[in-house]
Amino acid sequence: MDFVAIGDTTVDEFIRLEDARVSCDVNDENCTISMRWGDKIPYDFSALLPGVGNAANAAVAAVRLGLSTGFLSNVGDDAYGTQTLDHFKKEGVDTTHVAVNKGMATNHHYVLWFESERTILIRHEAYQYEIPASFVPPAWLYLSSAGSRSEAFHLSLAEWLTHHPETKLAFQPGTFQMEMGKEKLKSLYAHAEVVACNKEEAERILEVKSEDVASLISQMHTLGPNIVIITDGPKGAYGSDGTQVLKVPMYPDPKPPLDRTGAGDACTSTIVAALSLGKSLAEALLWGPVNSMAVVQEIGAQKGLLTRQSLEQLLATAPSEYRVESI
């Protein structure tokens, strides 16, 4: 298999708010949302999307780009678990290693969506994590967000990678993995071919505060990965192989974004998918923001994900300013 994603999957329930207020600091950062307390607040509509999450989104991105793709994860033995498995099968993602946990619920998150941004209320069920004995080493593993009981699993995965050097690891740390700290996960970072995160996450992983992306990339390399990818919202994405640092801008939006959920997942997983297809780092960087642009035009993290043909058509008609530059 070309690509196997590992991590939690969830059902996202979107609630489109009508009546709320967003307050930010002078730099339009550190924003909070407020609503009337102790009242009935109308909402526009809701939407239920099964089979999402960082790793799940990466699996769907990869399979749509033409890679043979599997998913190693957990669901409960409830209706949401069935919907999740049906969703992946419909997409063409192999679910052989998605464990159905008897007597447990499937992860269910609530997305409070206002204008083009969202806040997500999350809950991870207490699943057990393990690499099945029947697991066949793929060309690439894509590891992302997992629950708080997965610490031992990360260490066993690092040991597994020691015995399977034919498999390349792409690591997109999730919340709990960042909370574990870089020291506990140093063997995993050292095994990584690619580590991908956004700028704020890089600062959190490194326990630093810096406005200099190039410095963050340099420090991320000291953890061991061969390639570092850092996204920086509207400023674009950066990639480094240790000898060169490259930057690509955002791909221009055809119209204002509808929902930014999954934009980062789309960018980083598409870059990794392109690398797994044999593209150079510069070529792969051009692929990422195109899929990110497409995702934010739809509700949720997966509906807008492109096929390889559609992505390459958009690249062929990209404006001249959409290009990779060295920094």
The reported pLDDT for the residue numbered 30 is: 85
Which residues, including other chains, have CB under 8 Å from residue 272's CB and lie 6 or more apart? 58, 62, 140, 142, 170, 194, 196, 284
Question: Is the domain 3-8+54-105+129-326 a CATH 3.30.590.10 member?
Answer: no
The reported pLDDT for the residue numbered 299 is: 87
| Full DSSP string of 70-126 | EEEEEEESSHHHHHHHHHHHHHT-EEEEEEEETT-PPPEEEEEEETTEEEEE-----
Measure the CA–CA gap between 9 and 303, rounded to whole angstroms. Answer: 16
pLDDT (average), residues 254-263: 86
Q: What is the pLDDT of residues 89-144, one digit of tens each?
A: 999 999 999 999 999 999 999 989 888 788 889 888 999 999 999 999 999 999 99
Which residues, including other chains, have CB under 8 Å from residue 115's CB and lie 6 or more apart? 22
Q: Which helix (H) or strand (E) holds 15?
A: strand 10-17
Domain positions in the chain:
3-8+54-105+129-326
CA angle 215, 324, 243 (to 5 degrees): 45
Calculate Rg over the CA atoms of the chain: 19
Q: What is the pLDDT of residues 49-101, one digit of tens each?
A: 999 999 999 999 999 999 999 999 999 999 999 999 999 999 999 999 999 99
Alpha carbon 87 to its chain centroid, in Å, reads 18
Q: Which helix (H) or strand (E) holds 67?
A: none
Question: Tokens at residue 7, please?
Answer: 């991590």
Q: What is the pLDDT of residues 265-303, one digit of tens each?
A: 999 999 999 999 999 999 999 999 999 999 999 988 999
Measure the CA–CA gap between 186 and 286, rounded to whole angstroms. Answer: 29
Q: Which helix (H) or strand (E) holds 47?
A: strand 43-52
Q: What is the pLDDT of residues 194-242, one digit of tens each?
A: 999 999 999 999 999 877 899 999 999 999 999 999 999 889 999 999 9
pLDDT (average), residues 155-170: 96
